[in-house]
Structure 1
């Protein structure tokens, strides 16, 4: 179930659901607020394995289609609840969006290369999708397994704030161990490291560098052509600004495609930064069929593969 009223996002900004290969084969709709809506939902729940709703807390109960009502009709039902703030807590009844959810978890505050500038906004991939829907899927699948083994359904409370906070587990572990600073743009994986970052090329393009391990770094500086001196700078944090300047200056000497050709097939862990339009044509993604065309629109193919 999903809300059908109060939509404020212009249609041109809505996802192209009709052209998505992940869309349901036979989509339909039930207005849960109509006279016979709740009864129809309960009838569907009675023969369903999973029901997912995305209302604010309390709305499904008010409509008569909350977990208690649905599980009374089908004790094996997995009832998934997808919200930003969760089913309880001070913010539970309020509106929100991805950017706010990831902001209060600390995730947004650690993204971006400049400690003095604002955080970088990671589209809505981090909260809505990684911290939200994927955690909902994991919870629903676990609950389905339980229902099949024990004949007992469950309610899955998937909150974007919870999932996003859980995604920061490794970083929080590094922070506790003293190997991470709570200041963005100063760490190994957040742009503070000169051999893990993005550099501009002469044609306005960019190259992504992730040469963390010693042998990958050695390959990187060799192919970049910045000499033996750069090898020692890897271990000297005081020389990282100097190293970053040398790397940046060198990348500006060629185009993105020229650098792509230089690093192609190597273990230097360097890749071109592609746009959404360019990505499907990358030789590796094209060979794997990572993208597919459906209804005249290019879409990511389903993942993972079986």
Structure 2
């Protein structure tokens, strides 16, 4: 048994955050049926995002495809769609039509710009939404261009995870009231909402309104450094006890450059230069061996392939090779255990079985109706 075993989700196949959200729900036990259109050639993502799902082919521009979706909607707790605003309505599969078939449905809409506003009808991608929301602004030092990790900041952080929050919240409400709802999950909304911790720090002066003036992009004790082998490490010793431990472990307690207060910003450039020079004297593995066993708030910058081999990640079973693909295990954990990754299906792999199931359900409904007094 998994925590979402009682949830059935219908996914209108798309790209990026919608399929990721559906995979996440499937990871936690939801029965996810993905409706996809037969396509030739490569797609931007592989079949990993199909893990744990069932998949059926349907052309939504045909009446047959529309009726298939509505038949699946009738049995679903939630629907995920990632079309531009108005597309599902033009297909006859908008919220009004679907909620008419299933008044308890939670209809999840995943877009970059949202269902309303001047940019709502415009195209875009992860980096555009993160930029306009304000989330991309602080992703990089002042002397470099802002860069965010592929799809993480917008599509996943501000998009898929907020859509999942909305869907599960809607399901809780529906099970209490019997009424469905429509979730407008816009990446710009979620990405902006994630900034509230930063905006709270701004009130205390920890985050400035100018790049290169905040703790995360100017403090020597909260920075990324290059090592002798060209690899990188991170330091995050914000609290005074961790800062003192960092200096002690590096043999810098008595160094004149570090004699003043930790938060003396005038001394930060000199201290950063000193730390940068020190970390350049040894390879990353040296600093890992020295600092990882301490509370100096240290982390080596690892690629996903390297992270899969890190002792901590291996001990927790975070990464694995499943179906020949490196992937991360479902998260979070429940009662101390992580769920194992399910197999990923090929697009349309369950078309025949799902169609037969719908036909049988329809025949049974007719039989029950005829048997009724």
**Match for residue 45 of structure 2?**
15
2:180 is the counterpart of 1:117? no
**1:197 aligned residue (177, 200, 223):** 223
**Match for residue 2 of structure 1?**
13
Q: Distance in 1 between matches of 2:245 and 2:320?
A: 34
Indicate the structure whose relative CO is greater, using CA pairs within 8 Å and at least 6 residues apart: 2
**Match for residue 66 of structure 2?**
38
**Match for residue 131 of structure 1?**
158
Task: Tell me which moved more, 22-31 or 94-103.
Answer: 22-31
- CA gap 1:255/1:61 in 2 versus in 1, 3 angstroms: same
Cα-to-partner distance string for 1:8-37 (whole Å, 9 max, x where unaligned): 9x72x62222x45x6134222322112311
**Structure 1 residue 129: Cα displacement:** 0.2
2:238 is the counterpart of 1:212? yes
**Match for residue 165 of structure 1?**
192
**Structure 1 residue 206: Cα displacement:** 1.0
The answer to whether the Cα contact below 8 Å between 1:226 and 1:247 also exists between their aligned partners in 2 is no
**Match for residue 50 of structure 1?**
78
The answer to whether the Cα contact below 8 Å between 1:2 and 1:55 also exists between their aligned partners in 2 is no
Q: The residue matched to 1:109 in structure 2 has which SS?
A: coil
Unaligned 5+ residue runs, structure 1?
none
**Match for residue 276 of structure 2?**
248
Q: Distance in 2 between matches of 1:265 and 1:105?
A: 38
Q: Distance in 2 between matches of 1:87 and 1:81?
A: 8
2:116 is the counterpart of 1:88? yes
Cα-to-partner distance string for 1:211-259 (whole Å, 9 max, x where unaligned): 1111111111111122334253513111101110111111111111011
Cα-to-partner distance string for 1:163-222 (whole Å, 9 max, x where unaligned): 001111122233345442111222112x21111011111111111111111111111111
**Match for residue 94 of structure 2?**
66
Q: The residue matched to 1:202 in structure 2 has which SS?
A: coil
The two structures have a TM-score, normalised by structure 2, of 0.76
- CA gap 1:264/1:173 in 2 versus in 1, 3 angstroms: closer
Q: The residue matched to 1:41 in structure 2 has which SS?
A: helix
**Structure 1 residue 123: Cα displacement:** 2.3
**Match for residue 286 of structure 1?**
314
Q: Between Structure 1 and Structure 2, how many residues are aligned?
A: 300
**Match for residue 79 of structure 1?**
107
The answer to whether the Cα contact below 8 Å between 1:110 and 1:183 also exists between their aligned partners in 2 is no
Q: Greater CA radius of gyration, 1 or 2?
A: 2
Unaligned 5+ residue runs, structure 2?
1-11, 15-35, 335-373
Q: Distance in 1 between matches of 2:295 and 2:205?
A: 30
